[in-house]
Amino acid sequence: MAGQLEGKVAAVTGAASGIGLASTEAMLAAGARVVLVDRDEQALATLRARLGEAAIPLALDLLDPAACAGLLPRILGAAGRLDILHANAGTYVGGDLVDADSAAIDRMLNLNVNVVMKNVHDVLPHMIAQRSGDIIVTSSLAAHYPTPWEPVYASSKWAINCFVQTTRRQVFKHGIRVGAISPGPVVTALLADWPAEKLEEARASGSLLEPAEVAEVVMFMLTRPRGMTIRDVVMMPTNFDL
């Protein structure tokens, strides 16, 4: 895929690890400059040293309303333009609803839903003005299947899936493509909240995805001819249903 994104500028939220990092690495390999948005400043510095000058670190706490509102100006200040937004940052709350912590629910809904909506809202005027852009949101298989052990998380992804599809229908006339990736369980830090026995079972059965596999789908979406939008991709390990 070398050169397929040459001259493009992308921004990836939650870029310091997991799917965000894999997406960043794939876009860099395709020739893009990528703004890595994450609150972990030290991790970003380490990644800049490893990934090179095309990787532009942007330390930002998206849960801080003022910082979140400054996302686009800071991207433009660092890179001059924005062609691709991968709204990937998110968190996880699983288990029985009765056991969930209310503050954790608030934080998750803010990051998984409100922040995504605000980030997309804020970049749209720039993309509308340039008559092109790609927006990809990391959703989840949970947006399509009412997983019984994650009612809060699944609800956040159902909400954002609706947001992605309705926004897509509003902005395609401006040359902007909007789509979602909906992976099943991926080997990331989010799985730390899974019940230990469920995680061990998933590992043993081969029913987990790797971040790089998700990034390959992101690149597939981004490199389609402009007349084609990949609306949403549901991807899961072949052994998921075992």
Two tokens, residue 16: 């310091």
CB burial readout 160-175, b (16+ within 10 A) else e: bbebbeebbeebeeee
Say if residues 109 and 156 touch (Cβ distance below 8 Å).
Answer: yes
Say if residues 15 and 37 touch (Cβ distance below 8 Å).
Answer: yes
Instruction: Give the pLDDT of residue 208.
Output: 82
C-alpha distances (whole Å) from 125 to each of 11, 30, 73, 120, 191 are 16, 26, 12, 10, 35
In the chain, count H helices and then E strands. 9, 7
- pLDDT tens for residues 144-198? 988 888 899 999 999 999 999 999 999 999 999 999 999 988 876 655 666 667 7
Q: What is the mean pLDDT of each run of 10 residues along the chain (242 residues)?
A: 89 96 98 98 96 97 98 98 97 91 96 98 98 97 87 95 97 98 79 66 75 95 96 88 58
The pairing of beta strand 133-138 with beta strand 33-38? unpaired
Instruction: Kindly write down the DSSP assignment for every residue of 127-194, as one continuous string.
Output: HHHHT-EEEEEE--GGGTS--TT-HHHHHHHHHHHHHHHHHHHHHGGGTEEEEEEEES-BSSGGGGGS
Instruction: Give the pLDDT of residue 89.
Output: 97
Instruction: Give the pLDDT of residue 195.
Output: 66
- Active-site residues, by number, are 153
Q: What pTM was computed for the model? A: 0.92
Instruction: Give the pLDDT of residue 194.
Output: 63
Domains, the chain, ordered by start: 9-234 (3.40.50.720)
Instruction: Give the pLDDT of residue 94.
Output: 87
Say if residues 36 and 24 touch (Cβ distance below 8 Å).
Answer: yes
**Dihedral sign, CA of 228, 55, 14, 235?**
positive
Instruction: Give the pLDDT of residue 192.
Output: 60
Instruction: Give the pLDDT of residue 24.
Output: 98
